[in-house]
Amino acid sequence: MSSHHVLFGFHAVGVRLKTAPASIVEIYYEPTRRDARMRQFLDRVKEAGVRLIEADGMRLSKLCGGHGHQGVAARVGALEQVHSLDELLEDLEASQLALPSEKRFAPLILVLDGITDPHNLGACLRVADGAGVHAVVAPKDHAAGINATVAKVASGAAQTVPYFMVTNLARTLVELKERNIWIIGTSDVAAQTLYQADLRGPVALVLGAEGDGMRQLTTKTCDQLVRIPMRGAVESLNVSVASGVCLYEALRQRGGV
């Protein structure tokens, strides 16, 4: 079985071209598209020395499994990645010890409980990348995995943000606690608001699916529950929007904005 997979869209392919051009086997493009964006993209591909193949819209749609390819797709190899959340956290701790105290930063993790929509996952990964999240964690069951749609929506973040799908989410949260990471869950009925929480230390922010929220066991495992204040008629935000609100509040408290 081939280890290659397909990325499509200017953002997803462009990020791989920028960060790991050697992993790209070939890039397909629609020759009838001759606008400035395509010309600039093709110049970058030629500069990187990646093989270019002309492909009409029908071939691209078949390759990508849909029509949202923007005239660009790539067949790529897998990137070398950290294999587990434990390994990532150990590497992070080791790297922090090598820095002077004023330059050290606390781990920031996003936990998604029951997010099954690949568009939502892609948007969450994009927000996580922007906020400098160290990892995104989700359960293996009842959750979306990384696929071409996720990669397209994430605009390259699916390649830059470590995404770990774990067998037992509650147990993983307990293991994070053992590493002195504070678990903060979001709930519409929480007494405290997000803005009353201290997000400056090692934190894992847990968000559930829109409507259902976090599962009961996940909720019980959290150290603290907070809510995002809602002033209008709607009762909740889309999970990717809520992720952005929470993560950028953490970034603000840490002096990043």
pLDDT tens profile 142-200: 899 988 889 888 888 888 899 999 999 999 999 999 999 999 999 999 999 999 999 99
- Mean residue pLDDT of the chain comes to 89
Q: What CATH number corresponds to the domain at position 150?
A: 3.40.1280.10
Same domain, 232 and 188: yes
151 with 238, same domain: the answer is yes
Range of the domain at 193: 85-253
Confidence band, pLDDT 50/70/90 cuts, at residue 81: low
Q: Same domain for 100 and 132?
A: yes
Which band of pLDDT confidence, cut at 50, 70 and 90, is reported for residue 99? low
**Dihedral of alpha carbons 131, 116, 67, 5, sign:** positive
Q: Which two tokens stand for residue 79?
A: 């990137």
Q: Name the domain boundary from 76, 107, 137.
A: 76
- Among the candidates 43, 76, 109, a domain finishes at 76
CATH number of 44's domain: 3.30.1330.30
3-state secondary structure of 75: strand
Residues 58 and 166 reside in one and the same domain: no
Q: Say if residue 205 is exposed, middle or buried (CB neighbours under 10 Å; 0-12, 13-18, 19+).
A: buried
| 89 and 72 within one domain | no
Amino acid 93: pLDDT: 79
Closest among 184, 181, 131 to 161, alpha carbons compared: 131
Question: Nearest to residue 114, comparing CAs of 183, 189, 213?
Answer: 213
Q: What percent of the chain has pLDDT over 90?
A: 60
Token readout for 82 is 């950290």
Residues 35 and 115 both lie in one domain: no
Is there a single domain that holds both residue 127 and residue 151? yes
CB 151 within 8 A of CB 12: yes
Which helix (H) or strand (E) segment holds residue 206: the answer is strand 203-208
Domain boundary among 76, 93, 115: 76
pLDDT band of residue 83 (cuts 50, 70, 90) is confident
Domains: count for the chain: 2
Give residue-wise pLDDT tens across range 189-206. 999 999 999 999 999 999
Identify whether the C-beta of residue 137 lies closer than 8 Å to the C-beta of residue 85: yes
Residue 89 pLDDT greater than 70, yes or no: yes
Q: Does one domain contain both 64 and 117?
A: no
